[in-house]
């Protein structure tokens, strides 16, 4: 049985409390939980790894296979990695073979979401997961209750955490949010995705704007130049391709510009002074 695009497909009972809880748990594990290290010689385990078998069982029971562009892209990456491992067989380490497992895990979870829920449901999950993500990054930025010393070492490397907010010679520098992904560039990609995914329309409610701007603020906090260039490119496409009124487009862009300007004006001195009064 084929699954169509996510927005047109609801093959499984999307109103099921158990299914919703399971999918939210996947979201939480992927976006909020740190890696689990068992041994220095073995790859780190992700919390969502423990959810992979139930996800496979759920898909098999419904006998559903999603055939779309995403499936072919993942298949292409799998073949490419397999060929690379084969060519470099004498130089491979055990960790290299886990890249195939990562792709399989990603394909399984992606397939589950495509077949089980609608785009609107995914957006609702993403909105509410932004709340704990924002609080996490807020505690991280200001180092409240010695958050970076106690918690952040489980997410980022010791060097990244210890050098947070200082340059290579120990002087105060711009703080770039490491976040739950432990890297400002990876963190920026997460919030770039959520910002674009939650982009409001002319009919959006105030709460939709709130979560959109919250995601955009987190994106700015990562201060990734590469991600920012990507964002400018996507925004340009939005102006060209979106059919909404020009007035609404301009209002949305101006609102983001105001927030960006305010953030960067405050970041250098004011926000840093606030962090010096951390709890």
Tens of pLDDT, residue by residue, the chain (279 residues): 445 444 444 444 445 788 888 999 999 999 999 998 887 777 788 999 999 999 988 878 765 555 566 667 777 877 887 787 777 765 656 667 777 888 889 888 988 888 788 888 889 999 989 999 999 999 999 999 999 999 998 998 888 898 888 877 878 788 899 999 999 999 999 999 999 999 888 788 999 999 999 999 999 899 898 998 998 888 888 777 776 677 777 877 888 888 888 777 666 554 554 455 445
* Sign (positive or negative) of CA dihedral 157, 163, 164, 169: negative
Three-state secondary structure call for residue 124: helix
Residue 58: the pLDDT is: 84
Contact 172, 269 (CB under 8 A): no
Which residue matches tokens 């993403």? 126
In terms of Cβ atoms closer than 10 Å to its own Cβ (0-12, 13-18, 19+), residue 117 is: buried
Spatial separation of the C-alpha atoms in residues 160 and 218, rounded to whole Å: 18
Residue 266: the pLDDT is: 64
Contact 139, 164 (CB under 8 A): no
Residue 62: the pLDDT is: 67
Residue 245: the pLDDT is: 73
Residue among 37, 22, 270 nearest 157 (CA): 37
Spatial separation of the C-alpha atoms in residues 79 and 61, rounded to whole Å: 27
């Amino acid at each position: 049985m084929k699954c169509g695009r996510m927005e047109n497909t609801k093959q499984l009972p999307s109103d099921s409390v158990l299914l919703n809880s399971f999918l939210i748990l996947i979201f939480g594990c992927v976006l909020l939980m740190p890696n689990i290290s068992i041994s220095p010689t073995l790859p780190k385990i992700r919390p969502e790894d423990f959810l992979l078998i139930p996800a496979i069982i759920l898909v098999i029971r419904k006998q559903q296979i999603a055939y779309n562009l995403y499936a072919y892209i993942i298949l292409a990456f799998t073949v490419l990695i397999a060929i690379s491992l084969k060519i470099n067989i004498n130089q491979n380490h055990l960790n290299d073979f886990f890249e195939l497992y990562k792709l399989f895990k990603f394909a399984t979870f992606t397939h589950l979401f495509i077949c089980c829920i609608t785009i609107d449901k995914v957006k609702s999950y993403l909105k509410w997961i932004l709340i704990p993500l924002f609080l996490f990054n807020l505690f991280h930025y200001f180092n409240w209750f010695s958050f970076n010393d106690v918690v952040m070492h489980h997410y980022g490397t010791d060097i990244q955490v210890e050098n947070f907010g200082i340059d290579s010679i120990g002087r105060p520098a711009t703080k770039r949010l490491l976040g739950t992904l432990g890297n400002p560039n990876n963190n920026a990609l997460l919030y770039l995705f959520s910002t674009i995914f939650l982009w409001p329309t002319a009919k959006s409610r105030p709460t939709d704007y709130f979560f959109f701007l919250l995601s955009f603020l987190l994106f700015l906090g990562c201060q990734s130049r590469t991600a920012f260039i990507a964002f400018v490119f996507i925004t340009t496409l939005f102006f060209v391709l979106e059919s909404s009124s020009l007035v609404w487009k301009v209002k949305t862009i101006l609102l983001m510009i105001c927030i960006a300007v305010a953030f960067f004006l405050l970041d250098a001195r004011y926000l840093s002074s606030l962090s010096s009064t951390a709890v």
